[in-house]
Chain A
Amino acid sequence: MDYLVTLMGDGRKWAKIVGILFIIMFLLQLLSLFFSTDMSEVFITIISSLLYLVPGVMLLKYNKAVEKAENGQDMAADIEDACLAQAKYFQFVGIAAAVGIVIMIIAIVAMVALGVNLR
């Protein structure tokens, strides 16, 4: 178990960096809201900013849980929390990718249909 915590400790620094970068990207997306001209643009910006916020928060949670495991008494419970944060991260990114693919397919189908109508 100690080796596992050491290993997770090695990875947590990078998880923290990636988490912070995601949060920075989220904040930059929010900043771009000030330059949005219409409501659809605002909506798209809010949705795309969430794509950065949620994984960022999950990775920061992972970092915190591993940090607690390194210092705390209840090592097993902290590793369980870290595993949960890790799984939630992959779950969110996976769902976001699946939704993205569905939207892309709908957009392609719509474009093809629109092209046919235009002709």
Chain B
Amino acid sequence: MSNIYEAPQADLTPKKQPGQGENEVTQTMIDNLEVGAKWAKFLAILGYIAAGLTIAGALMGLMSVFAIGIAGIFLVVIYGISGYITYRISYFIHQYSKSVQALIEYGDMGDMIDAQQYFNRYIKWLGIILLIGVVVAAVFFILGLAGVAFIGSQL
């Protein structure tokens, strides 16, 4: 039996706070992501507006299909695809921003994983589009050079 006259004792060793475990998100990670999330939300809103305008352009092109024929269909396809891509990229950034906001609120590793998944998707889409853009630019550049060489040979 314990001594009832013994001085009370308390365990003063520091306990792990939420978010301080080995497998937890640290406060520094949250602080670092917080600033970026606000700008990501801003970019997502701009992207949604741009996607809306591009799709509106596609719909207007659809009306002009009868007037300008094949060129109109080409215009509609190009505007439609670029509007959809803009929407998807904006959606990924928006979801990233939402996940980071949830992370700030609850400090949960699940939200951090969600945020990184959306960032991965965003960067993958951006990479594919940039690669296509670079290839198209290179093709046009080569075609331009070939055109100049052809004109030069004709003179």
Contact = CB atoms under 8 A, between A and B. Distances in A.
Contacts of A10: 120
Interface string A2-24: 01100110110011011001101
Nearest to A16: B127
Contacts of B63: none
B42 A97 contact: yes
Give the size category of B's interface with A. 20 to 34
Nearest to B109: A4
Given A83-B29, A86-B119, A91 B113 contact: no
Nearest to B27: A80
* Secondary structure class of chain A's binding surface, majority of residues: helix
Which 6 pairs between the two chains have the least Cβ-Cβ distance? A87-B36, A94-B39, A11-B120, A90-B36, A83-B32, A84-B32
Interface of B: 22-24, 26, 28-29, 32-40, 42-43, 46, 93, 109, 112-113, 116-117, 119-120, 123-124, 126-127, 130-131, 134
Interface of A: 1, 3-4, 7-8, 10-11, 14-15, 17-18, 21-22, 24, 59, 76, 79-80, 83-84, 86-91, 93-95, 97-98, 101
